[in-house]
Structure 1
Amino acid sequence: MPMDPLLLRARGLWEGLARGSVSFAPGGGVSVVVSPESGLCPVGWVGMVTLGESALVTVPVEKRALAVRHALERLPVGALMDGSSVNEVLPVARVLGPAVLSYVSPEKFLPVETGSLRVERLPAGHPELRRLEESAGDQDAGEAALDEITSPVFVVREHGRVVAAAGYQGWPSRTAHLGVLTAPDARGRGLARVTGSAAVAHALAAGLLPQWRARASAAASRRVAASLGFEELGFQLSIELGPGRA
């Protein structure tokens, strides 16, 4: 059966980010490669990305590759999204994630009607975006990463204040990595859907692959993505190994 073009394109992105001679196993399973400059995780960490029934794992140094490969062979691919499961077979010191990786095609995109809302464009780096980040707090602002956006930023105002914003950062393989942020006092009213829809439409018009990454526990963000037509295709997990079995 031919592979889903959306899944194939997403895999191509992460194969490139792995910065090693490796690819997702077409029939399923785990592929491990030594890649000190991997873009799957922080420097010196082990990066894991699962898409479909296959996983890509990068290890920073050769001396740990064999142990990591042997350990992960004991786990089903789906367990690689679970830090506690990985901790059972590897000496995990710290974990980032899991994050859910979602993508949308032009055919599946569900644009949102703005109704009476007016969506404006601001340049990336506009001072009003910094004020929105301050109101949202460090964790939410860090995940939205509005300061890394390279596209126009689509915003909604209330009483002159920017209360929701969305845009994307240009990633390799013609990918648009979405960032969406809403002020705490303006949440629950669909503003993330409105600004996110505008950013996704802009990315698709440019022929880019929209990517939505959300913490697995971030139910609200995942619901927004699903409402726009995004499909959850996989997960990303990064671990820092401690001394011990690997």
Structure 2
Amino acid sequence: MEPLLVRARGLWEGLARVPVSFAPMGGVSVVVSPESGLSPVGWVGVVALGESAIVTAPSTSTAVIVRDALATLPVEAVTDADAVRGVLSVARVLGPAALSYASPAVFRRAEPGVLAVEQLPGGHPDLRRLEELASREEAGEAALDEITSPAFVVRERGQVVAAAGYQAWPSRTAHISVLTAPQSRGRGLARLTGSAAVAHALGAGRLAQWRARPPASRRVAATLGFEELGSQLSIEIA
């Protein structure tokens, strides 16, 4: 397997917090893990990478139900919310979110041009002001308040209008966060700030992970050279 896929699978196997592996020949592996990092506590977490998927369930009884239901779906459909609703009684879902990864070998850095990228501490109040300009859902998706790296920002008329950084995850992974003010979108600012954050992460020897639901965010990741290797879905069983 390609090195990016191996590292990505190792990350999520560790986040399952119980022994589990992506089946080398394809398929779905379901385990019981009440403390799983694949989903919110009490939910079912599904991560598909390549042609295999791992699933964590909060209890043995839930694991049996989920294992039997997902066995009726092809691997590529186990993170499809509509397909899962067709075989399980679902109360709520989060996702699916595409999982993309970059290493120094595939990363395509964006050149700043006339725009300057400034570096700020991760807890800087200007980042909170940027979050206030976006919707609550967008700010929650970006999770700039969770970054452990410096923030890389672009200002216009003194105000931060785009920012990116990353949260240090296990297995030396950098989980990238990017947010652009609504009135400043469509001008490449997410690509510019995201590029700076990714370069910082790769320079520290980390695997860069870009998790996104909106198509626009996925396009930014692709422009920077990220490879979309799979997806993640969280399910609350009714």
Task: Quote the residue 2:230 is aligned against.
Answer: 234
* RMSD of equivalent CA atoms: 0.7
**2:215 is aligned with what amino acid?**
A
For the residues of structure 1 that align with 2:91 and 2:52, how far apart are their CA atoms? 25
CA distance in 1, matches of 2:5, 2:200: 21
How far apart in 2 are the matches of 1:54 and 1:146? 31
61-70 or 173-182, larger mean C-alpha shift: 61-70
Distance 1:76 1:51 in 2: 13
SS of structure 2 residue aligned to 1:75: coil
TM-score by length of 2: 0.99
C-alpha separation between the residues in 2 aligned to 1:74 and 1:119? 49
1:61 and 2:65 aligned: no
Task: Provide the rounded CA distance (Å) in 2 between the counterparts of 1:194 and 1:6.
Answer: 23
In the alignment, what sits opposite 1:198? Answer: 196
Aligned-partner SS, 2:186: coil
The residue identity in structure 2 corresponding to 1:195 is T
- For 1:176, the equivalent position in structure 2 comes to 174
The CA deviation at 1:15 is 0.2
Within 1, Cα distance between the matches of 2:81 and 2:181?
Answer: 30
How far off its partner does 1:39 sit? 0.3
Q: Structure 2: 5+ residue runs without aligned partners? A: none
Q: Match of 1:125?
A: 123
Q: Distance in 2 between matches of 1:81 and 1:73?
A: 13
Matches within 5 A, 1:79-90: 79-90=77-88
Aligned to 1:111: 109
Q: Shift of the alpha carbon at 1:84?
A: 1.4
Per-residue deviation, 1:67:
2.1
The match for 1:101 is 99
Aligned sequence identity (%): 73
- Note the residue ranges of structure 1 that are not aligned, 5 or more in a row: none
Query: Aligned partner of 2:111: which letter?
Result: E
Aligned residues: 238
How far did 1:64 drift? Answer: 2.0
TM-score when normalising by structure 1? 0.96
How far, CA to CA, are the matches of 1:64 and 1:166 in structure 2? 38
Supply the distance in 2 between the matched residues of 1:193 and 1:65 (Cα, whole angstroms): 40
Task: Tell me the residue number matched to 2:208.
Answer: 210
> Which of residues 206, 210, 219 in structure 1 aligns to 2:215?
219
1:161 corresponds to 2:149: no
For the residue of structure 1 that corresponds to 2:139, the secondary structure is helix
CA distance in 2, matches of 1:181, 1:121: 15
Q: Which moved more, 1:75-84 or 1:146-155?
A: 75-84
Q: Distance in 2 between matches of 1:92 and 1:171?
A: 29
Shifted more, 193-202 versus 85-94: the winner is 85-94
1:65 Cα offset (Å) = 1.5
Structure 1 stretches (4+) deviating beyond 2 angstroms? none
Once the two structures are superposed, residues 43-100 of structure 1 have per-residue CA deviations (whole angstroms, 9 ceiling, x without a partner) of 1110000000000000100122222111111100011121111112111111110000
- Higher mean C-alpha deviation, range 59-68 or range 49-58: 59-68
